[in-house]
Amino acid sequence: MLDRRGDIAECVSPFSPKKGESEPMIPNHVAIILDGNGRWAKSKGMPRNYGHTIGAKNVETICKAAYDMGIQYLTLYAFSTENWNRPEGEVAALMRLLDSYLKNCLRTAKKNNMRVRVIGDISRLDEKFRNHIKELEAASAVYNGLNLQIAINYGSRDEMLRAMKKMLRAYDAGDFLPEELDDVKFASYLDTAGIPDPDLLIRTSGELRLSNYLLWQLAYSEFYFTDTPWPDFHERELKQAVEAYSARDRRYGGIREKEDVNV
């Protein structure tokens, strides 16, 4: 596996251009909604939790592929604030799976020089789970390879409400004046403070909605939807999404440099 510490020889990028071609545009930050685990399992005659297990195993595959492509940040939607409404047995199984993944991620993060952070309201998680999160975040903070963010008990509306509460407390403490409040200041109170906004949002398994995910941060992101369920979303599918992104014309509300504004 490619390791930015130089332990292992550098591999050839899957996007190495052919003669006469220009370098593709690689997104700095990719956010993914991991959808379709349960439906994928049912299509194979297996229980929904089997799909979640296979989906969790696919995370390392995509982390490696993203790193090899030159992606710097990867944010994965693992469990939403609305997912608590699922059957109690499925929720309990998901919590155990996520906790187990984060414990194993201590070793994976060290092996792959990967920094891991959890976004979302972790106060609803049990104390043991919260301690595993804090341990992983502290231990991996020294690594400078791929930045992996995992959204657990995350909902964008909830995030913004929590951010506003923190901001109001800071205002009451005299930390800033009303005229100093702008989008940069507000973003500093979000769970993603210090993390660049996603360039590309991918949703798997055919759904065409954002599901309360990174609503503030996705303001100028490119969207890519695929019918492929998350357990089948591998390096080839990620490459296709990045190639589609590379062909987009990102203007952020402006115009092309040579575009006639009178047309």
- Spatial separation of the C-alpha atoms in residues 198 and 178, rounded to whole Å: 28
Q: When comparing pLDDT for 254 and 55, which is higher?
A: 55
Q: How confident is the model at residue 156 (pLDDT cuts 50, 70, 90)?
A: very high
CA separation for the pair 55, 94 (Å, rounded)? 11
- Catalytically annotated residues: 35, 83
What letter would DSSP give residue 13? P
Tens digits of residue pLDDT in 87-122 = 999 999 999 999 989 988 999 999 999 999 999 999
Q: What is the pLDDT of residues 13-51, one digit of tens each?
A: 455 555 545 567 999 999 999 999 999 999 999 999 999
pLDDT band at 249 (very low <50, low <70, confident <90, very high): confident
How many residues are recorded in the chain?
263
Question: 């006469």: which residue's tokens?
Answer: 20
Residue 36 sits at φ, ψ, to 5 deg, of: 105, 5
Q: What is the mean pLDDT of the chain?
A: 89
**Which residues does residue 151 pair with via DSSP β-bridges, in sequence order?**
77, 119
Quick check: 71 and 27 in contact, CB under 8 A?
A: yes
Q: Could you please state the CATH topology (level 3) that the domain comprising 29-156+197-246 is classified under.
A: Undecaprenyl pyrophosphate synthetase (3.40.1180)
> Which residue in the block uniquely carries the two structure tokens 């403490």?
173
Roughly how many angstroms between the first and final C-alpha of the chain, as a whole number? 50
Contact 113, 1 (CB under 8 A): no
Task: Give CA–CA dist 26/23, Å, rounded.
Answer: 9
For 75, the 3-state DSSP assignment is strand
Non-local (6+) Cβ contacts of 74 within 8 A are: 29, 30, 31, 32, 62, 63, 66, 146, 147, 148, 149
Percentage of residues of the chain with pLDDT beyond 90? 81
Residue 53, pLDDT above cutoff 90: yes
pLDDT, position 176: 93
Sketch the domain layout of the chain as residue ranges.
Answer: 29-156+197-246
